[in-house]
């Protein structure tokens, strides 16, 4: 146990006595609680003229504080002054994106005419990936070659004169040309 009267003035230092003193000091230091955070548990309003109060305690490394604040004395009645400037505009000064999951926030201030706003809005979570916005040259060529009809420019015109009444050969030439066109249009 630590004794503040040891060693006494004018005496020789005794090792056992000094070791006891140092161990006593260490025990006192170890008994000091460690504070990891502070928390205000309450604030109460006291009657005007009372002294302010604070109570403190430590539990599980947390400093707990409770305040008593006296209410100020009532001031004299003020004069009715001239009305303030009218509210003219609402101005958005800034909009800032904050990380997803962060709370949205807004701050305001009045410059005498305009109310100014600054917003903090959380970014949304990423959506599903949509189709690409651009088409590669290869995709374009594949679409033209395989997803549209074959090139019908190679189909020539009928180029035949039809008599009245048409002959079997003339009708057959028209049928053959239609078959050629239909085959060219197939994918």
Express each pLDDT in 53-92 by its tens digit: 999 998 888 889 999 999 887 888 877 777 766 666 778 8
**One domain for residues 158 and 179:** yes
- Could you give the CA distance from residue 136 to residue 142 in angstroms, rounded to a whole number? 10
Q: Distance (Å, rounded) from C-alpha 124 to C-alpha 102?
A: 10
Beta strands in the chain (DSSP E): 37-46, 53-59, 62-70, 89-98, 105-110, 114-122
**Has this prediction a pTM greater than 0.85?**
no
Sheet holding 37-46, edge to edge: 37-46, 62-70, 53-59
**Number of domains comprising the chain:** 4
Q: Domain range for residue 53?
A: 33-68
- In this structure, are 181 and 154 located in the same domain? yes
Q: Are strands 37-46 and 62-70 parallel, antiparallel or unpaired?
A: parallel
Q: Mark whether 17 and 42 lie in a shared domain.
A: no
């Amino acid at each position: 146990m630590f004794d503040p009267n040891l060693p006494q003035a004018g005496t020789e230092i005794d090792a056992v006595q000094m070791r006891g003193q140092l161990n006593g000091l260490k025990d006192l230091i170890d008994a000091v609680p460690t504070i990891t955070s502070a928390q205000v548990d309450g604030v109460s309003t006291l009657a005007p003229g009372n002294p302010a109060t604070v109570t403190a305690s430590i539990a599980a490394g947390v400093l707990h504080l409770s305040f008593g604040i006296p209410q100020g004395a009532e001031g004299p009645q003020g004069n009715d002054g001239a009305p303030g400037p009218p509210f003219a505009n609402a101005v958005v000064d800034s909009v800032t994106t904050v990380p997803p999951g962060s709370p949205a926030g807004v701050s305001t201030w009045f410059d005498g005419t305009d109310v100014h706003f600054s917003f903090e809005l959380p970014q949304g979570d990423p959506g599903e990936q949509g189709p690409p916005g651009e088409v590669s040259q290869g995709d374009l060529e594949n679409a033209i070659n395989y997803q549209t009809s074959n090139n019908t420019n190679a189909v020539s015109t009928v180029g035949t004169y039809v008599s009245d009444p048409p002959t079997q050969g003339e009708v057959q030439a028209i049928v053959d040309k239609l078959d050629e066109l239909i085959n060219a249009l197939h994918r």
